[in-house]
Amino acid sequence: AQKVTQAQTEISVVEKEDVTLDCVYETRDTTYYLFWYKQPPSGELVFLIRRNSFDEQNEISGRYSWNFQKSTSSFNFTITASQVVDSAVYFCALSEFNFGNEKLTFGTGTRLTIIP
């Protein structure tokens, strides 16, 4: 069975500090996809990034960066120079392929609070 573990339940940092959110996954698939979503207080899940299992290049988008390492089954997310607007719950997810159904298996989320 597929599993996603986000061991950090809650993190608080002071504004402008860097913060890394950890994600560890388990799967028997050789081809899979990993995702990060942000859930601000409004409640809607906002897509941040998708990464396939064959692409281990790190990715940077503005203040956001992602480190994918198959050797450790990790897909960590770093926010540089955090801002109050980054306060949210962040979910890591893994897609499972079953005759077309790419349902997402989510981690339990990390609640990030940025202190002004």
- Residues forming the site for another protein (CB under 8 A): 31, 33, 35, 37, 42-47, 50, 52, 91, 93, 95, 97-109
Cβ proximity to another protein: between 44 and 62 the closer is: 44
CB of 32 to another protein, least distance (A): 8
Question: And the tokens for 20?
Answer: 């890394």
Cβ proximity to another protein: between 20 and 31 the closer is: 31
Cβ atoms of 110 and 77 closer than 8 Å: no
CB of 113 to another protein, least distance (A): 18
Question: And the tokens for 109?
Answer: 């989320």
Cβ proximity to another protein: between 75 and 82 the closer is: 75
Question: And the tokens for 60?
Answer: 């940077």
CB of 37 to another protein, least distance (A): 8
Residues 6+ apart with CB under 8 A from 98: none
DSSP 103: P
Three-state DSSP class for residue 9: coil
